[in-house]
Structure 1
């Protein structure tokens, strides 16, 4: 019997396991399906990690190594190359590897930290033939940075998510010619710093309100045709642009990896595709917590770490049976221009001083006000000069305001 089992050994799992252990959970196990700890960070060899948490600029592998060493300095047990097949409501974890075979492990609490996966060509239905040379940006990143393979010489990137922008720069540095970055929306979905450092600095054009309407090629991609789209995101005839290329990279969104969560019956939020969580990152099943990109897709790993520490610390409190002080239950709802909120539910009795609420907006805004209302009454407002869908927002709601609220709080974004 373990106190805590953490599923996933990426940045979320490492932070949750470390915090759980230091918070009092003595028998902690991390299960990781890859051959080493670190998750996606191992292939993110660019810098920009750790500015918030370590107050210095690190590469992905350096950030992962710091946390792996912190975990190794404890008695936390780690099983890599281990696939989790199922979790049950009574907190049994079914897993398999080549050393132990089929295992059924019991825990007092579980933290889900499986991360997310990329949306593929099949998910977005690009027309055209099916030649070689079409990769998700993350797959290309792994090939180039970890396996040592070059994926192509003349590249078109669909989507302006952060991985796609970073791969535009990476491919250029490796000697490829990135012909275009094509984005369906009228704004980029990546961080502004990545647009500047990865596209503008290398003279790579960004085609907003465009999409790929044809991929041509026999054995290998030979040509890509893009078209401008109208306000309904439908291609405009006569606006086609042709590119002679041999590679297409797809950076068209990330999907939280929640097959295990769905299998055990955890309530899923259709807005985030992740579990519905309370203020302490607990899911709809008591004692099962979730954190990181499995809950909602983050833009910075430092935020993943902070959220995961909260999940691990609260899992330790649960194990030590400090119990949940229910209090009043408040539902968080997204109002105008807000895509989702995390957490989705707040138990006021379980809040010490304040609750941090994370959300993303639906469009690019300048000079706006974030309004927090309950029962038609304004609880609080926050001014922002700039907001964009590619950047996660955070507000802090003090306990005093939660005590004043009705059983529902709405967060919306409006023009000043």
Structure 2
């Protein structure tokens, strides 16, 4: 059995950053990637806007990924492509990872695991669209793959359901390639994508956005011929009498992403219902010791820069855990983070007691649009930290670094976080 200190599952931006950080910390590292090439979803994201936070310049997805891939190759970090993890199990003080590829089935041993498996798109059936199963219905990522990697235009006249960022970007991309985008329909009363994408992808190309509307039915046998759209009420239910037919040959779905954590389930890693990823502490370690999570497998990020950041942190701590250099005094003691209902989610969910004197990075989203908002942290009912925001929006994730060493955190305590709107 081949042994490594750290095995990273997933070779996208989070996994690459984790592997590099673990290698720099002195660990022997293996990356396992199911696709033919490293880079993850970035390989097909030919638009720019990546790397503004990390590199201070606009890069396309492939350019951003290549900077990490080049470093992996230069440092000689081991990686497997077209390889699938079929089983994860605890093995003594470490883990056994079973992998299948062209060479057959091979078992690898690891002192620590980093789960960087990314996320997947919701499908038409997952959002309960009725009708037949004709060709012409694509997730936004699939349409992007056809257009950018295969050079095939998947539709000539389409409707886009959902105003997520990939859907907005594909509205522009398909328009540039000559397709007619009849409109973007969003069930929520507010858009789901970043403001910059709403402006650059819809407004600049005069593509209409219909809020509080959804696709209720599709028509066609071999190929999509039309969709039915309707206005929805506050409970997301179609409003009677508002349905209308739109003739089209394509329906592009941008209806949300789900962190992909099936392999984590094999180890019994507890999940957070809000973030859809593992419950983790400030080291990005899950509640299964030695298993770390990062990137979109932990929670869906807006910016790849933060995906890489969480990967680096997870990789660094995984390396320390694998070689026994982590400070594990009181290892079982974690302080819980309690977030009120104003948060859509808050990650991480715990602070290790021995790290109470260190800085930690928090990522969060508000549940609804808030103006003149104040983020507060309380200990024992007393507010000890505040941060003001002119506006918070669910589509825009916030990153916050807090120096917990400044506050009187006691063993067994609980930190409570709230977001409130204030007047003036």
> Distance in 2 between the 1:8 and 1:46 partners?
23
1:14-413 mapped onto 2 (5 Å cutoff): 14-25=16-27, 27-90=28-91, 91-98=95-102, 100-323=103-326, 324-326=328-330, 329-351=334-356, 353-404=358-409, 407-413=413-419
**SS of residue paired to 2:325:** coil
Q: Deviations over 1:230-271 (max 9, x none)?
A: 111111112223321110001111111100001111111111
Q: CA RMSD in A?
A: 1.4
CA contact (8 A) 2:357 2:405 kept: no
**Is residue 10 of structure 1 aligned with residue 15 of structure 2?**
no
Bigger drift between 85-94 and 111-120 goes to 85-94
Bigger drift between 259-268 and 331-340 goes to 331-340
Q: CA deviation at 1:414?
A: 0.9
CA contact (8 A) 2:357 2:403 kept: no
> Distance in 1 between the 2:349 and 2:360 partners?
11
Q: CA deviation at 1:365?
A: 1.6
**Unmatched runs of 5 consecutive residues or more in structure 1:** none
> Distance in 2 between the 1:192 and 1:351 partners?
36
CA contact (8 A) 1:333 1:340 kept: no
Bigger drift between 190-199 and 352-361 goes to 352-361
Q: Deviations over 1:92-143 (max 9, x none)?
A: 1011110x31011001111110100011111111122221110111011111
Bigger drift between 122-131 and 4-13 goes to 122-131
**Unmatched runs of 5 consecutive residues or more in structure 2:** none
> Distance in 2 between the 1:299 and 1:326 partners?
35
CA contact (8 A) 1:153 1:247 kept: yes
**SS of residue paired to 2:363:** strand
**SS of residue paired to 1:47:** coil
Q: Deviations over 1:198-226 (max 9, x none)?
A: 11100011111111122122321111121
Runs of 4+ in 1 over 6 A off after TM superposition: none
> Distance in 2 between the 1:187 and 1:401 partners?
38
Q: Deviations over 1:371-413 (max 9, x none)?
A: 2223322121111111111111122222235533662222221
How many pairs align? 414
**SS of residue paired to 1:235:** coil
Q: Deviations over 1:336-361 (max 9, x none)?
A: 31011111111131355311111111
**SS of residue paired to 2:307:** helix
> Distance in 2 between the 1:171 and 1:349 partners?
52
Superposition TM-score, scaled by structure 2 size: 0.95
> Distance in 2 between the 1:197 and 1:49 partners?
15
Superposition TM-score, scaled by structure 1 size: 0.97
**SS of residue paired to 2:282:** coil
> Distance in 2 between the 1:94 and 1:304 partners?
26
